[in-house]
């Protein structure tokens, strides 16, 4: 018997493979942790110079005309897209994505706290904005 999927089979890869589902389930936490560490090591308020968007036909780039884009804002959007984009298929809850981001953020804060303790020189800590908007230094 073939283990492949027929064209009529609408089951997702995550449903058919428990290992894949476990990894996909934790993508939100991974995104939360990675983005938190990136924000801790970058200047979140840095404004991206000369951003562009694709033209309607996708063949050229046009100047972006909107609110200023910052590193922190773009990193937060990246995390949200990863965490909440899984909901489009209707197989995940929004709360899973949000809680996953918070879990990843908490893990990253713990790692950054441990890392700071290893510094032998004067260091004021890692400062960044949490997903809830609160500024923090660890």
Instruction: Report which of 75, 76, 90, 81 is spatially closest to residue 12, judged by C-alpha positions.
Output: 90
pLDDT value at 20 more than 60: no
pLDDT in tens, 61-94: 999 999 999 999 999 999 999 998 877 777 778 8
| Ranges assigned E (strand) in the chain | 52-54, 61-63, 127-129, 135-137
Q: How confident is the model at residue 1 (pLDDT cuts 50, 70, 90)?
A: very low
pLDDT in tens, 44-59: 999 999 999 999 999 9
Percentage of the chain beyond pLDDT 90 is: 69
The overall longest dimension of the chain from CA atoms, in Å, is 65
């Amino acid at each position: 018997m073939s283990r492949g999927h027929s064209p009529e089979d609408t089951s997702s890869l995550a449903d058919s493979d428990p290992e894949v589902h476990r990894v996909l389930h934790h993508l939100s936490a991974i995104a939360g942790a990675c983005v938190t560490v990136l924000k801790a090591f970058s200047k979140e308020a840095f404004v991206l110079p000369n951003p562009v968007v694709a033209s309607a036909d996708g063949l050229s780039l046009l100047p972006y005309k909107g609110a200023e884009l910052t590193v922190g804002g773009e990193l937060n959007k990246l995390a949200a897209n990863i965490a909440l984009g899984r909901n489009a298929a209707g197989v995940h809850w929004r709360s899973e994505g949000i809680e996953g981001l918070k879990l990843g953020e908490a893990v990253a804060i713990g790692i950054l706290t441990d890392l700071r303790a290893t510094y032998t020189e004067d260091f004021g800590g890692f400062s960044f904005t949490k997903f809830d908007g609160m500024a923090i230094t660890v």
